[in-house]
Amino acid sequence: MRLEGSLEVRSQPTECLRRLRDPSWLSQCLPGLQSFEYREPGTFSATFYLDLTQFSQLAGYLTRIRAEMSFRYDDAGNDTIKLTGEGRVVGAKIRLTIAVRISPSPTGSLLNWQAEADLGLVQKLLGESLIRKVAEHQIQRLTQCLSERLSSRV
């Protein structure tokens, strides 16, 4: 599954790059985060829950699912951040790649992002339509937090 979008913030590109390359800073915007562990430079692990409550009529008895992921920053150039994650959701292996290209804008920075997710068995079990809705909801929560935090001095 592929998703993409853009986001404009009031921070300069160098500040956006600095913050987004900091796993501890980024972790504050991961929806449903339960645990976070900085491992070594450029890597971290996270456990979080995906809230399915608003989709319960589609997901049946499931109200949330647990995701355990290990992430690493990959070198993608001076103006791009690339984050690759591998892990498990409800016991099934998943892979996620997110790339964010940051460029100057009249009010600060423009962040163009692309996400590629290989959800394997999870997508087959729950269906692409439900998975896409859950992913879009999670992305909306993540980008809203990033927009607020990158536009503030925090």
Q: How far apart are CA 42 and CA 125, in angstroms?
A: 33
In the chain, DSSP assigns E strands to 2-9, 33-38, 43-51, 64-75, 80-89, 92-105, 108-118
* pLDDT score, position 82: 95
* pLDDT score, position 100: 95
* pLDDT score, position 128: 75
Is the separation of the CB atoms in 36 and 63 below 8 Å? no
How far, in Å, are 3, 50, 69 from residue 79 at the CA level? 20, 30, 25
How far, in Å, are 29, 31, 125 from residue 140 at the CA level? 11, 10, 23
Residues of the chain with pLDDT under 50: 59
Considering only the top CATH level, what class is 2-151?
Answer: alpha beta
pLDDT digits (tens, 9 = 90+) for 108-153: 999 999 999 887 777 767 777 777 787 888 888 899 999 999 998 6
Task: Give the domain ranges of the chain.
Answer: 2-151
